[in-house]
Each structure stands twice: as structure tokens, then as C-alpha cells.
Amino acid sequence: MNETGALPKAGLFSLLHAADAAQAHVESRLAAVGLSLPKLAALHALSRAGESLPLGQLAEHLSCVKSNITQLVDRLEADGLVSREPDPNDRRSRLAVMTPTGRRAFEEGMRIQQQTEGELFAGLTPDEAQQLAVLIQKLEQRAR
């Protein structure tokens, strides 16, 4: 009946909904090793940085506010995955340090995350994944 309608509308809501679903999907798998995506991301940042980082830098790596990191590290510490240690260079600063338990959880978590992500994207051809990356990036650029 027309050329412009009758097709699946892109829209903000479908994007947000899909992202939510993907996140929930991964987190449900990650729960098997007691990790959430934010916790895994924090351990990932610590791992890349050589097992430890000042809290402020951790906040930068995770693109969030410092008070959030205070609380996230509280929970990671309660889980025994990270410990807070004094920064020898600056007495105001505290270092988040990955514990051996944390490293093991991180490795298992990364394995699960990558496998789940693989399954999620297995429905897309390499070409489609590439297109998606480009479109996503354009959108994000506009939102900045």
C-alpha cells in the first residue's frame, strides 16, 4: 500500500530493548560463576592494567563516576575478588588489586562471556556484524 511504512521501524526503543535482552542473556550465564557484567568489566580493566589500578583510574576505564566504583569495589571485595591496598605513591589514593580468586573468576567469566557473545552473534553473517558495528558507531557518535 505504501513504500515508507509497513517495515520494521528501527527506533530508539527497539535498540534499548534489544540491548537489555542481550545484557540479561549474558548476565544469566555469568551468574554461574557469581559474576555480573559490571564486575567482569572491572576485573577486565584490572587485568589489562596488570592486576591493579587506583580507583579513580578504574572509574575512567569503566566510564563511570567515582562513587560508583567505590561501591562496585565494595561488592567485589565482599566477594573476595579484589582487595583495596594503599597506594605507595599517593596517600590519598587506594589501589584495587585483583586477588587470586578474582583472577580465576575473571578467566571463567571471560570464557563464558565470549562464548555467549559468540552464540548471540552467530545469527549474523560477518558482513552483517560489520554493518551493525558501523551503524551502532554512527548512532553513538550522534548521542555524544
Q: Long-range contacts of range 131-135, CB-CB < 8 Å, 24 or more positions apart?
A: none
Q: Residue 19 binds which entry of DNA, a second copy, none, with Cβ cut-offs from 5 to 8 Å by kind?
A: a second copy
Partner that binds at residue 133, options a second copy, DNA, none, CB closer than 5 to 8 Å by kind: a second copy
Q: How many residues bind a second copy (CB under 8 A)?
A: 48
Q: 82-86 and 94-98 as β-strands: parallel, antiparallel, unpaired?
A: antiparallel
The amino acid sitting at 71 is Q
Residue 138 contacts a second copy per CB under 8 A? yes
* Residues binding DNA (CB under 7 A): 36-39, 54-57, 59, 64-75, 78, 84, 87, 90-95
Distance CA 86, CA 21 (A): 39
Question: What single DSSP character describes residue 49?
Answer: T
Name the site residues for a second copy (rule: CB under 8 A): 4, 7-12, 14-26, 37, 63, 113, 117, 119-124, 126, 128-144
